[in-house]
Amino acid sequence: MATSPLPERPAFGLVIVGDEILSGKRADKHMPKLIELLAVRGLQLEWAEYVGDSPDRITATLKRAFASGDVVFSCGGIGATPDDHTRQCAGRALGVDIELHPQAEALIRERMQDMAKEQGIPYEPDRPDNIHRLNMGVFPRGAGIIPNPYNKIPGFSVGHVHFVPGFPVMAWPMMEWVLDHTYPHLFRQQAYLEKSVIVFGSMEATLTPLMQDIEQAHPGVKVFSLPSVDHPQYGRHIDLGVKGEPAAVEPAYLDLLAGLRQIGAKLGPELVR
């Protein structure tokens, strides 16, 4: 299959691969970090998926990612142990063969020489464990390289889907490299703005018509409602607001406040993020 072309303003997505996340042995740290990396560039994460070490599920997830037209980061499963399936599944999802990438091979061999030197032993390129390590450079045909500043073992990109290791110390600088080298034209000078107000004593169903009116009157602005029943400061309330480009948020927020006052809502503090 061919990857979908990138739209003018693509969404950003994240795939986290690994049984250890779903079993609770490890806590996912990639999603909050990617949210942070995107935010400082004026971008937002639109969706995330978690998938265990099931080749069929990984393949299905990656098929959706390739077809989405989104910029997608996939974290985990690109090693060379029996429970690492992401490289093979990416090839299956694309319908292409996987093969040893020449640049990846050179980087992996360089890393093996560095390791031999650190251990004070000769580098033996044909030793079985060294031959096995080259599997970490077997990518879908046509893939590009993502450099790994931690240990030189690269990740890879196919279209706008980018594959990095599960280790944060490697994955995070690699994701940042992809953003800064591939998508600087998408960066916004100003990040999305969120403005909201605490609403006491109202139900979401009561506020829904006003929320719909605001979105219809202000295209490109999203209205959000975050109810809470046991907040330590505000107690039971709804955090109601709008988010989007700063220039669009300001008039939408004023209309939201006017609509709340018109229906007699009890308002608390206003919040800006």
The 10s digit of each residue's pLDDT in 151-180 is 999 999 999 999 999 999 999 999 999 999
Contacts of 216 (CB under 8 A, 6+ apart): none
Summarize the confidence of residues 19-30 as an average pLDDT: 94
CA distance 223 to 236: 20
The 10s digit of each residue's pLDDT in 256-270 is 999 999 999 999 999
Is the pLDDT at 191 greater than 70? The verdict is no
Q: What is the pLDDT of residue 2?
A: 62
Portion of the chain with pLDDT greater than 70, in percent: 98
Are β-strands 193-200 and 266-272 bridged in parallel, bridged antiparallel, or unpaired? antiparallel
Cβ 199 vs Cβ 265: under 8 Å: yes
Assigned token pair, 51:
């998938």
Assigned token pair, 120:
């004070």
Phi-psi group of 69: left, alpha or beta (phi > 0 → left; psi -120 to 50 → alpha; rest → beta): left
Summarize the confidence of residues 85-97 as an average pLDDT: 97
DSSP state of 74: E
SS3 at position 220? coil
pLDDT classification of 229: cutoffs 50, 70, 90: confident
The 10s digit of each residue's pLDDT in 55-73 is 999 999 999 999 999 999 9
The domains found in the chain, sorted by start residue, are: 12-186 (3.40.980.10), 193-272 (3.30.70.260)
Summarize the confidence of residues 66-92 as an average pLDDT: 96
CA distance 31 to 179: 15
Q: What is the pLDDT of residue 1?
A: 62
Is the pLDDT at 189 greater than 70? The verdict is no
pLDDT classification of 53: cutoffs 50, 70, 90: very high
